[in-house]
Amino acid sequence: MSIRTWLIDRLGGSTQEVEIDSTEFFGLAAEYYVRNLAFQSAINLIANSVSKCEFKTYFKGKEVKEREYYLFNIEPNKNQNSSAFIHKWISKLYENNECLIIESNGQLLVADTFYKKEYALFDYQFTGVTVDKFEFNKSFTMSEVMYFQLNNRDIRTLINGMYESYGKLIAYAQSSYNKSRGEKGILNISSMAQGKPDFLTTFEKLMNERFKNYFLAENAVLPLFEGYAYTKSDAKTYSNEGSRDIKALIDDVYDLTGRALNIPPVLLRGDIASNKDAVDNMLTFCVDPLCDMLQEEIIRKRCGYADFVQGTMVKIDTKTIKHIDLLGVATSVDKLISSGCFTINDIRKTVGEEPINEPWANQNFMTKNYATVEELLNEVERGDTVEKNMGIETSSRT
């Protein structure tokens, strides 16, 4: 298979050999690299977000940190830490629209390839499962694995179809930009020079060697034979914004990718100005729904109904994704503790600090400013009664 055929196949075209000129070929290459860079940037952004989440484990309603916690948060298998494992997990899910995780000898492994046989009323069967070029000589049932499917339709196929016109525009813009930056001129050849026996040899050497070296060199001198005269054209066909037009088209690819994956385009492009709302939007519409789907599959395969109803489960805590500035949240921390909503240790764990091993750190506190409506009315009534007993009239107080 030629590289041209491989590239066309990767872009979703025909795998048959096709005739393609160099301009079109490099246009396809530019399209592939731009779309792949945008898609991989989006996947990395999502995978980085999920890898920052804490997989909390509960046994009969009580949070515990035992073997299951260690698997998901520290070491899922001998060759990967949790961050590398999650990156492969999320990458496979978005690249293939599905992902398979198996357990072998107490290790969690993300499958590189597998074949799936579907049944309406029975467990799906997974065969040909490979991990790091090792193929398991057994079939797995749906109840033995964790199987994740992102969408009913492969989102990457839809994105690639949407990119076809943009790839051609980017390739055309690049070609136009390069042509406009090149030097143009007129070569006059006299009839005497054309009549010489070695004219074709001399002409080919001049065009393929001397002119090529002259145009590519930063500083050069062009020697010409008798009967040849080269005149440089002073006309320029480009504007100063030519490269900005190409960048704008590439930014459009990032924008389309971001919208398709529910990522605000400003985050995917790397813009950092006023991106707080963009981060919140991504967490709400991209990361939170994804983690809900992952969490549901983990619970139903690793815990089951009997344990779930007793409070044994895994929860993916997405609150740990955002960086917290302690000085910036000091007022909020005070309100959360003084309202009795959270304990001191609850807040310390949220901001990434170690809990305090003291009983008072796990108690709820509330300021005296808080009271029920009933308590306030009773206090007002008691105050009125005392004033009447002291002979103070309401009118005199007003």
> Quick one: pLDDT at residue 25?
46
Range list of H helices, the chain: 3-10, 22-51, 67-73, 82-96, 155-181, 191-194, 199-205, 211-216, 242-260, 265-269, 276-282, 288-302, 305-308, 330-338, 344-350, 373-389, 394-397
Asked whether residue 179 is assigned to any structural domain, the reply reads yes
How many C-beta neighbours within 10 Å does residue 114 have?
Answer: 22
Mark which of 306, 323, 340 sits at the end of a domain.
323
Split at pLDDT 50, 70, 90, the class of 341 is confident
Angstrom distance (rounded) from CA 183 to CA 313: 69
pLDDT above 60 for 3? no
248 and 214 part of one domain: no
Cα dist. 234→123, 181, 230, 276 in Å? Answer: 74, 12, 13, 50
pLDDT in tens, 259-292: 888 899 888 887 776 677 888 889 999 999 999 9
Select from 195, 213, 232 the last residue of a domain. Answer: 232
Of 11-15, 43-47, 129-133, 304-308, give the lowest mean pLDDT range: 11-15
Length of the chain: 398
Q: Same structural domain for residues 87 and 205?
A: no
Q: Parallel, antiparallel, or unpaired for β 185-189 and 228-232?
A: antiparallel
| Residues ≥6 apart with Cβ < 8 Å to 200 | none
**What is the model's pLDDT at position 22?**
47
pLDDT at 385: 64
pLDDT at res. 398:
40
**Count of the separate structural domains present in the chain:** 2
Locate 153 and state its tokens: 């339709």
81 plus 214 within the same structural domain: no
Residue 112 lies in a domain: no
Specify the pLDDT at position 270: 79
Q: Looking at beta carbons, which pairs linking 359-364 to residues 24 or more positions away fall under 8 Å?
A: 364/340
Residue type, 264: P
Written as one letter, the residue type at 186 is I
pLDDT at 176: 64
Residue 169 and residue 189 in one domain = no
Give the confidence band of 395 by pLDDT, cuts at 50, 70, 90.
Answer: very low
What pLDDT does 30 receive?
Answer: 58
CA neighbor of 290 nearest in space, from 255, 320, 263, 256: 263
pLDDT at 122 over 60: yes
Q: Which residue has the higher pLDDT, 239 or 258?
A: 258
Tokens describing residue 152: 């009913």
pLDDT higher than 90, residue 296: yes
- The yes-or-no verdict on residue 8 having pLDDT over 70 is no
Q: Are both 156 and 295 inside the same structural domain?
A: yes
DSSP string, 331-398: HHHHHHHHBTSS-HHHHHHHTTPPPP-SGGGGS--B-TT---HHHHHHHHHHHHHHHHHTT--HHHH-
In this structure, what token pair is assigned to residue 293? 């789907």
Tokens for 335? Answer: 């309100």
- The model's pLDDT over 212-249, given as tens digits with 9 standing for 90+, comes to 777 776 676 777 777 778 777 765 555 554 556 667 77
Mean per-residue pLDDT, 6-19: 47
Q: What is the pLDDT of residues 51-105, one digit of tens each?
A: 999 999 999 999 999 999 999 999 999 999 999 999 999 999 999 999 999 999 9
| CA atoms of 371 and 373, how far apart (whole Å) | 7
Q: pLDDT-based confidence at 5, cuts 50/70/90?
A: low
* Structural domain harbouring 168: 1-97+150-184+237-323
Would you say 126 and 145 are in contact if contact means Cβ atoms under 8 Å apart?
yes
Residues 312 and 207 in one domain: no
In a domain, 137, yes or no: no
